[in-house]
Amino acid sequence: MEIKGTTKLCGVFGYPVRHSISPVFQNAAFHYLGLDIVYLPLEVKPENLPVAVQSLRAFSFVGVNVTIPHKKNIVALLDEVDEEVELLGVANTVLNKDDCLKGFITDGKGFLRSLREEGGFDPAGKKVLVFGAGGTAYALTASLIRAGTSTLVICNRTRERAEELKKHLKGNFPHCHLEVIGFDRRFDPGVYKEVTLIVNTTACGMKDEDGILVPPEVLPESVFVYDVIYNRQTELVQAALRKNLACLNGLSMLIYQGAVSFEIWTGLPAPIEVMKRSVLAQRKLL
Ligand SMILES: NC(=O)c1ccc[n+]([C@@H]2O[C@H](COP(=O)([O-])OP(=O)(O)OC[C@H]3O[C@@H](n4cnc5c(N)ncnc54)[C@H](OP(=O)(O)O)[C@@H]3O)[C@@H](O)[C@H]2O)c1
């Protein structure tokens, strides 16, 4: 990568930010397409977020990604937001167009593209079981309903949070059939009847000691398993692979949500394969 007098800036605001994989695949994509843009990890303490946002205009940034803990607080500091940010109250991408800062959230779109393009799975008309009721669950359930999912079953460790998610979804998408089930019900094979997609949006599986969310013996024979966790291969993903089920892990979503950000900034189709290869090479998985 050659930095010149003309090089434009992109990056990711986070605190901490050193774990971020985004610089790896975004720089690979810019380089592959010969774009004169560099993507930097930008450590921003919460108290410095307003001044960091100002700096996007001062340094004529193309845009930035925004990660923990800024996804919510950045929204009030932007000039415009798209309708998904309006719905969810969080943003993970900022575009700087002539000093006007517009916020987007690419998690839902990235997840759907990953599911369709890499997983070959179309959720339209399907019954889907979603584990979790945190920020990721809000983004992914909205995108599944927009994509035509007919029945959504929500299962979360804290039931009240699942009920809150259901209420939020019912208010915005009254046509979708929604159910909440207790967390212990995940051991009941009957729960998976007609379910064709299981999505784990919880943090369960991030650590070795977390254990498995769904025991292999209750996983139906022809279900698609999608786990958003990307730091390790979870027990759920391992069980799905052992049972020869169609399955994706969070690396796919990470790349695709980054690809949607890339397309917002550049207006060009993201080189998905290049982005994927750069991450796998960095993780020495090639
Ligand atoms: N692949 C990607 O691109 C991508 C993007 C965004 C997020 N993620 C991943 O998504 C996960 C959730 O992120 P988030 O932002 O939605 O977090 P969040 O808002 O804090 O929500 C966490 C969720 O996980 C549940 N949970 C946490 N530990 C659990 C455990 N040991 N057993 C069962 N449930 C547990 C929580 O249940 P309670 O309500 O009971 O606490 C809640 O539903 C993280 O692993 C994150 O890395 C991946």
Q: In what order do the strands lie in the sheet with 63-66?
A: 37-43, 8-14, 63-66, 93-97, 100-104, 80-81
- Looking at the structure, tell me whether residues 92 and 30 fall in a common domain: yes
- CA-proximal residue: ligand 1, atom 25 (nearest): 202
In a domain, 2, yes or no: no
Continuous H helices in the chain: 22-32, 49-58, 83-88, 107-113, 135-146, 159-172, 235-242, 250-266, 272-282
**Ligand 1 center–CA 201 separation, angstroms:** 6
**Is the CB–ligand 1 distance for residue 183 below 6 Å?**
no
What mean pLDDT is predicted for residues 227-239?
93
Sheet of strand 224-227, all strands in order from the earlier edge strand to the far edge: 177-181, 151-155, 127-131, 195-200, 224-227, 247-248
Kind of pairing between the strands at 177-181 and 37-43: unpaired
pTM assigned to the model: 0.94
Whether the pLDDT of residue 108 is over 50: the answer is: yes
CA distances in angstroms from 198 to 152, 156, 166, 212, 244, listed in the order given: 10, 13, 17, 14, 15
Question: What residues does 41 pair with on adjacent strands?
Answer: 12
What is the residue-wise DSSP string for 208-232? GGG--SS-GGGS-TT-EEEE---SS
Structural domains of the chain, count: 2
Query: Cα–Cα distance between 131 and 266 in angstroms, integer?
Result: 34
Domain holding 206: CATH number? 3.40.50.720
Token pair, residue 221, equals 């024979």
Q: What is the mean pLDDT of residues 251-272?
A: 97
- Does the beta carbon of 236 lie inside 6 Å of ligand 1? no
22-65 pLDDT, tens digit each? 999 999 999 999 999 999 999 999 999 999 999 999 999 999 99
Distances (CA, A) of 116 to 15, 180, 181, 202: 32, 25, 27, 21
Mean pLDDT of 134-146: 94
**219 and 269 together in one domain:** no
Is the beta carbon of 254 within 6 A of some atom in ligand 1? yes
- Pocket of ligand 1 contains residue 159 by CB under 6 Å: no
186-217: pLDDT as tens digits: 999 999 999 999 999 999 999 888 888 999 99
Q: How far is the CA of 133 from the centre of ligand 1 (A)?
A: 8
Q: Residue 84 maps to which CATH number? A: 3.40.50.10860
Q: pLDDT value at position 232?
A: 87
Kindly state the percentage of the chain with pLDDT values over 90. 92
Determine the Cα–Cα distance for residues 129 and 225; give it in Å rounded to an integer.
10
- Closest CA relative to residue 95, chosen from 219, 251, 261: 261
Query: What is the model's pLDDT at position 286?
Result: 47
Q: Tell me the residue range of the domain where 199 lies.
A: 122-245
Q: How confident is the model at residue 285 (pLDDT cuts 50, 70, 90)?
A: low
Spatial neighbors of 168 by CB under 8 A, at least 6 apart, are 138
Domain co-membership, 183 together with 83: no
pLDDT at 21: 94
Shared-domain flag, residues 158 and 204: yes
Q: What is the pLDDT of residue 208?
A: 85
Q: Does 251 score more than 90 pLDDT?
A: yes
pLDDT of 258 > 50? The answer is yes
Residue bearing tokens 């917002």: 264
Other CB atoms within a 10 A radius of the CB of residue 107 amount to 27
- List active site positions: 71
Q: What is the mean pLDDT of residues 87-110?
A: 96
The more confidently predicted of residues 283 and 244 is 244
Burial of 83 (0-12, 13-18, 19+ CB in 10 A): exposed
Compute, in angstroms, the gap from residue 17 CA to the centroid of ligand 1.
18
Q: What pLDDT does 231 receive?
A: 84
Assigned domain for 113 exists: no
Q: What residues contact 117, with CB distance under 8 A and at least 6 apart?
A: 256, 272
Are 93 and 261 a contacting pair, CB within 8 Å?
Answer: yes
Q: Residue 95 is inside which H or E element, if any?
A: strand 93-97
Calculate what percentage of the chain has a pLDDT beyond 70.
99
Q: Are residues 83 and 180 in the same domain?
A: no
